[in-house]
Structure 1
Amino acid sequence: MKNKLTKVGLLAGIGILSATQLTAQTPVNEVKPFAPESEYRTWSIGAHVGLLNQSNLIGLRRRFDKTEQSLGYGLYVKRQILPGFGIQAEYIGGKVTGAYEDNSNRFDTKMPWSIAISGNVTLANINWRHHQGIIKPYLNFGLGALGFEPTTEINGTTTTYEQTTKLFVPGGVGLKFAVTPDVAIDLGYRLNLVQSANFDGVSHGGAKDIFSYTHLGVEFALGNKSKPFLGNSNPVSAMQKDYQAQYDEILAQKAALEAQRAENEKLQAQVERLYADLADDDGDGVANRYDKCPDTPEKTKVDGSGCPLPEPKAPVVQQVVVTDEDRRVVDEAIQNLEFDLGKATIRQPSHASLNKVAALLIEKNFSLKLAGHTDNTGSMQTNLRLSKARAEAVKAYLVSKGANPSRIEATGYGPNQPIATNNTAEGRQQNRRVEFTLY
């Protein structure tokens, strides 16, 4: 008998160890919390072997005080109704034996068959802690019928009774160890209350008989393996996980929004610094940044560096003639004009063409109108400010090269005068421009 107990214990240990190793290697299919039943597999089958005896763990009275173990076996089919509850039809067979300590009396009850319908509650599937538990405790309770044939040996007299069929009430507890999403080791203890006082062949006192069944088995989920088994599902924990993922996504979106807001503030600060660089405190048309004579009296004519021009000896009327070559120089400057993205900073490749325009203005005393334009991306206020700033930047550069600021007019029109559609990238590129009008 000790050998039987040792074998059962060894099988339990091997099952638990296999569950721990294989579960970590097998991916688990997941569906949304509270998904319809069609998203799961709901049927499973199981088989088990174990030990039958007349003892029990709760101290109920028994007639034969010497515990003897006998081999039992069983099969069951289970239909999972909810993640934490299933109904199973189960067969158990074997033999239950017992005796007095002095071996004066004993009984052997053959149990060819028993059929029970039981409810199975999986406790691990109704808590918040484990999304996919490796160890799942469960409770089992139900009602069934069994056939039994008791044989007694009382004071040397052996009596065999005919097979009798009676109702019995099974109830128990157990642990299931997940080996894979489809396979579980089943370790359980079942207490069975027989609705008869003659299960052990002795009916004195009229008390109903009890026998227990300690078993080790395996359960297999049936159906399409692309779907998870409903008995492994924990919708409460899955809902917590789903909500946590949504919360993490909201935090990520919030962080991205804060980063964009910081970038916008940085761009705003750059635009404000640009305006500060282009300020003209003495109103002579030369920005403070380039003004070498910052305190010029109001309405004083100044040169490109902001210093007063010498008084002309006599007015000279000069006819302005713009040649094709002059227009080519201006067109080249327009084609080569580049700014930093979203800024009014002129890039280095544009300087050579602008230098030619400055030389042309100085040499022929031309007047120049600068008109800044943008596409319709962004707000109207930002686009008007940026177009004006870019036109002023071109003027400031030409003035820094000696051009007369009084002959240069800088205006910003924002997106109000497009020359192409703003619905395409190419059209928007054409609309972002600074026009030069020489006269």
Structure 2
Amino acid sequence: MKQRFLKCLPVAVAALFIGGAAQAQDGGARDPQSTWSIGLNAGVLAPISPLGGKNDFSNYKSQLGYGLYIKKQITPYFALRLDGMRGKLKGDNSEAYKSGVPGSGPVSAFETDLSYTGSLNAVVNVFSMDLFHKTSAVTLYASGGAGLAGYKVQTAAGSGALTDYAGGKTISELIVPVGMGFKFKLSEKVNLDLGWTVTFVDGDNLDGTYKGTNNDKYNYAYGGLEFALGKGKQLAFSNPIAVTYDEAVQAKATANALKGDLEAAKADNARLRSEMNDLLKDSDGDGVADKLDKCPGTPAGTVVDGSGCPLKVPAPVIKEKVIVTESDRRVVADAIKNLEFDLGKSTIRAKSYPTLNKVAALLVEKDFSLKLAGHTDNTGSAALNMRLSKERAESIKAYLVSQGANASRIEATGYGMNQPIASNKTAAGRQQNRRVEFTLY
């Protein structure tokens, strides 16, 4: 059980700080509130508990204990607190038990030094003494948690001196503290803390007497001071019911004010809508407002200009459909067949002019459009071939334009060696790939 607690303790401590981050992000529009605090206390330690169980010794002596803690207030009602405490515990069998039988056994007295105790506790504010104000002055709280205690024990037999128990080694045990207390706010940053805690030990070695039938326990009644850290009022003394009520009243007042503003805005919108309707009124339905309509009373369906007057629409121009005949295609095919360029250049050879002249005459006569696509083989670099194919297509376009063709109806594009129609591995294939395609439309 102790090992399981040691594994869980880092997670619990992390929860203390994560809770702080979550609370900081939940501040919203409210005033900042102090959620961290530290406390110092001192009081009376006794190795006995009035909460039940058997006692190993008849007489227990009260000793001084002292402690400190750091606390994170998660909500006004809930907090996580990391406690530490030290002190001594003493007892003997010098008095009779309540039954009248004197204490007896191999151990007549013990003294335990609580070297350390550490526990993580949940603290719940059970009751506030000032329910009708945003902050209280007194709160009643309860606490409970788990932790570890390390202690050394000395025992005596009969009237002998105290000797080390368990070879003087420090014994570590799981502890479960349960407590309650009152918190009094002395100032905005200082509180008086009066409390009482009963701690149950997961073992029977605290008094140096092991019987194995009843775990040991001790109680700590203390008083101390708690110091709030950070800016703002303490969240622990905040009364969320009163705060929520005040916020609801304020929200209602704000809503009433907004309602008045909304009614005024509605009245303004109604006035603007009426004025807008007057501005946009269109009696004859021609799409021009009456205030701008220079020709009121236009018959329905009449096309008007921006001033509301009938618009004269020119008759649509009907263009005949272009039809490419077989004869036209033969003219283009002859031009492609007879087309030659100087080697590695875009200069058209003179023998190509007669058939190109027929293509130019065809473009002028029938108002055709023409797409010229230049291609090369794979001899040379891709960039050089791309430029040469483009230049040859442009050269043909320039020649056709010089013969009267409409330049806007001729498109010249170069594709380089990217679209071969034959294998580039043979001379015949490369010859076929060096071409300019004519597309008439």
TM-score (norm 2): 0.46
> Which has more radius of gyration?
2
TM-score by length of 1: 0.46
- Higher relative CO (CA 8 A, sep ≥ 6), structure 1 or 2? 1
